[in-house]
Amino acid sequence: MDATELAAHYRAYIACLNRRDLDALGEFVADDVIHNERPLGLSGYGDMLAGNFRDIPDLAFAIELLVCEPPHVAARLRFDCRPAGAFLGLAVDGRRVVFTENVIYAFAGRRIARVWSVIDKAAIEAQLSRE
Amino acid sequence: MDATELAAHYRAYIACLNRRDLDALGEFVADDVIHNERPLGLSGYGDMLAGNFRDIPDLAFAIELLVCEPPHVAARLRFDCRPAGAFLGLAVDGRRVVFTENVIYAFAGRRIARVWSVIDKAAIEAQLSRE
């Protein structure tokens, strides 16, 4: 895939997440995917997402920035949601938090093989401490 | 600049930081640069870096991953250092910490106009809690 195709494919992956279509995850994620150095595999990756959807009922992924140089995609994702209980070890307890994730993916063909993700935990802490 | 030129230029920016050459910062950073929504400007950006170098005497920037689609650059930076006192609100106090930063830049010509940075604070917390 060239950069335009890969960017469109990545947007389709995010749309798949936003419709909670974990049955289609295998179209976008490799069987042996590694997430932040953890060899989750496709099933573990799906379990991670299912846990996110359970813990954050209104979770939605919004792409703020997309940088595409095959086989890599980098994105800045924005979240505006209400985690039900603890999130990243913080007692959010249903309060609204707005935060970002900067994430880089390495694709192998059409599937995500590696993910390097950093969530802006400090931004969430700052919002909670202001309340 | 095409992707190859921009990547080389970004590597020169990181080399500039690693030799603490803040006098050359204007070759790489725009007068009206905005860092994580803060309009620091070139002088404020230099002040931020000077503060980083003071707080973390052995600070060095290592590029782990580089994704370049002009005018954007995304990077995963790795740090292996000993912040002297508090860092990101954590009492590191000279202990060795290894952590990453996922950062995206928008260039205007040869200069960085916008920076969106997320540092993996959770990784630092995990290291400190293991000690």
Question: What gap in Å lies between CA B10 and CA B71, rounded to an integer?
Answer: 11
Cross-chain residue pair B118–A116, CB shorter than 8 Å: no
**A125 vs B contacts (CB less than 8 Å):** 89
Q: Are A102 and B118 a contacting pair, CB within 8 Å? A: yes
pLDDT tens across the length of chain A (131 residues): 999 999 999 999 999 999 999 999 999 999 999 999 999 999 999 999 999 999 999 999 999 999 999 999 999 999 999 999 999 999 999 999 999 999 999 999 999 999 999 999 999 999 999 87
Amino acid A52: pLDDT: 96
Q: Report the DSSP beta bridge partners of residue B109.
A: none
Residue A130, both tokens: 């202001």
Which amino acid appears at position B63 of this protein?
A: I
Dist CA B94 CA B57 (whole Å): 10
Write down the ipTM of this complex.
0.95
**Subunit contact B118:A104, Cβ cutoff 8 A:** no
Please report the pLDDT score of residue A130 as a whole number: 84
The beta-carbon neighbor of A120 closest among B74, B100, B118 is B118
Each domain of chain A, given as residue ranges in start order, spans 3-129
Q: How many angstroms separate the CA atoms of B85 and B69, rounded?
A: 37
Structure tokens at A116: 């390097």
Which CATH architecture fits B3-129?
Roll (3.10)
Question: What's the pLDDT at A93?
Answer: 95
> Are the beta carbons of A118 and B116 separated by less than 8 Å?
no
In order along its 131 residues, chain B shows pLDDT tens digits of: 999 999 999 999 999 999 999 999 999 999 999 999 999 999 999 999 999 999 999 999 999 999 999 999 999 999 999 999 999 999 999 999 999 999 999 999 999 999 999 999 999 999 999 87
Q: Which chain B residues are closer than 8 Å to A65 by Cβ?
A: 72, 104, 116
